[in-house]
Amino acid sequence: MRKIQFFDTTLRDGEQTPGVNFNTKEKIQIAMQLEKWGIDVIEAGFPIASQGDFEAVKAIAESAKRMTVVGLARCQKKDIDRAYEALKNAVDPQIHTFLATSNVHMEYKLKMTKEEVIASIKEHVGYARTLFEKVQFSPEDASRTDRDFLLEAVQTAIDAGATIINVPDTVGYSNPTEYGGIFKYLIENIKSDQEITFSSHCHDDLGMATANALAAIENGANRVEGAVNGIGERAGNTALEEVALALHIRKDFYGCESNIVLNETKRTSDLVSRLSGIPVPRNKAIIGDNAYAHESGIHQDGVLKNPETYEIITPTLVGVSQNSLPLGKLSGRHAFVEKLKELGYQLSEEETKAAFIRFKDLADKKKQITDQDLIALLTDQSREESETCKLANVQVQYSSGGYQGAIVSIIDAEGTTKVASKIGSGSIQAIYNAIDELFQHDPQLAEYEIQAITGGEDAQAEVRVTLNDRETKQVFRGIGIDFDVLQASAKAYIQASNQMKEQE
Ligand SMILES: [Zn+2]
């Protein structure tokens, strides 16, 4: 059976989602979970983009045990050198160079002629090949490129030493018939003594990212690029979990397999959702909360008689119902540490100590601590550790009529406590006004969302906020988790405010 390689770009294209910023520690955590999930190739970042990106790619290159680690580079020598520096210690390094080939991109963005584009591909793929065994080339905006010129660009890259050709539908413009046709055309027409791997990269602007990726596979692509939960630029990338499940459930049709460990899917999705701050819609395929809920009576009756009547994917297959052993108030440190290991966390002695204190604190208020609670708690802890200003205290004065008052104190990077008090039409508004005063800024609160992490009346609250910088229009996200709604709201707002402050 044909094996499809899974290429994950959650940390590169996924991070290009407005407001998504993973720190290095979070990137490593995601990378390690991706390796556990069975990802073959990880695009860890764009090393030349910033010092932070460079460090993260380097750290992932040094921690990945099995995965190929990829760095993105434009067709420029300095990009390729920087990627080499970041990746040289990887077990299996790979470079991903790209250059746009569509008329609109060449004319308006690159301001290059076709001849110049071809010359640049030849020069830079050739140069990359002197440093890397594995060179991937992407003709950016391939789906809007003239077929003949696309073939010429791809053939040039192959002749210069690229063995992986990625065909991006950069703007999410293509459809399955057309996109599959591009692969068929290229595969039939290229000339090479070496085996060339073709790869798909799709965006979901027209809602066809997964369908397009599958069409590419049907037409000979052996690699699929995408991101967990389908996050990414604009409408996002191909959701890799969808492709993995489609190949598995419809093995009869596609005749392909992958290395994806399906029952790690939900856990991977949860982690990315939590760290990116982008919630998974309830009706999302494979991983949405409602994906396995049968509401209508006829369906329920059928599922009870035989699950196969309406259920093509079982929750266990993707790891949804793996809430094996919840912890509680009486769980000791040993059980706690074992649970962390089971969830794939590698914490230092100090971090474990801090996490255990938080856990005990939560267990005083909540009867059963589920896996979701624990993941939330640990994410919250690691986010807080990296914050410059931390929430110290919130005090609210509530009256059932008129204005509400809030006093908020934070501890800044120097360890100084700052206090502000403000009023607002509601308690949360009063808290946010006080935080704005402390940060000396006035962002626009674009989104405020509250959700319970688990069911039950003793559930923890998870608040997600999105702030817009009124001048730069940049977007910042924050998540706060707490037993108390107001405290969670304050934490989320401070997290987003910290990020906004760092950008100034
Ligand atoms: Zn993309």
Q: How far is the CA of 320 from the centre of ligand 1 (A)?
A: 28
**CA terminus-to-terminus distance, the chain:** 53
Supply φ then ψ for residue 472, to 5 degrees. Answer: -80, -10
Please check if 237 is assigned to a binding site: yes
Please give the helix or strand (H or E) that residue 497 lies within, else none.
helix 485-503
Alpha carbon 190 to its chain's center? 34
Q: How far is the CA of 48 from the centre of ligand 1 (A)?
A: 17
Supply φ then ψ for residue 70, to 5 degrees. Answer: -115, 140
Please check if 203 is assigned to a binding site: yes
Q: How far is the CA of 327 from the centre of ligand 1 (A)?
A: 41
Alpha helices in 160-232 (DSSP H): 176-189, 209-218
pTM: 0.83
Q: pLDDT value at position 325?
A: 64
Q: How far is the CA of 175 from the centre of ligand 1 (A)?
A: 16
Q: How far is the CA of 12 from the centre of ligand 1 (A)?
A: 9
Q: How far is the CA of 150 from the centre of ligand 1 (A)?
A: 18
Give the count of beta carbons closer than 10 Å to the beta carbon of residue 365. Answer: 11
Residue 455 gets which letter from DSSP? S
Q: Taking Cα atoms as reference points, which of 408, 396, 377, 351 lies closest to residue 479?
A: 377
Please check if 201 is assigned to a binding site: yes
Q: How far is the CA of 141 from the centre of ligand 1 (A)?
A: 9
Q: How far is the CA of 59 from the centre of ligand 1 (A)?
A: 23
Over the chain (504 residues), what is each successive 10-residue block's mean pLDDT?
Answer: 97 90 89 96 97 96 97 98 98 98 95 97 98 98 97 98 98 98 98 97 98 98 98 96 98 97 93 88 90 73 78 86 68 86 82 92 86 84 84 94 94 93 96 97 94 82 92 89 93 94 82
Q: Taking Cα atoms as reference points, which of 174, 264, 192, 181 lies closest to residue 216?
A: 181
Tokens representing 256?
């392909």
Residue 281 gets which letter from DSSP? P
Report the distance separating Cα 142 and Cα 156, nearest Å: 15
Q: How far is the CA of 372 from the centre of ligand 1 (A)?
A: 30
Q: pLDDT value at position 121?
A: 98
Q: How far is the CA of 467 from the centre of ligand 1 (A)?
A: 25
Residue pair 82/48 in contact by the 8 Å Cβ criterion: yes
Q: How far is the CA of 44 from the centre of ligand 1 (A)?
A: 14
Q: pLDDT value at position 295?
A: 67
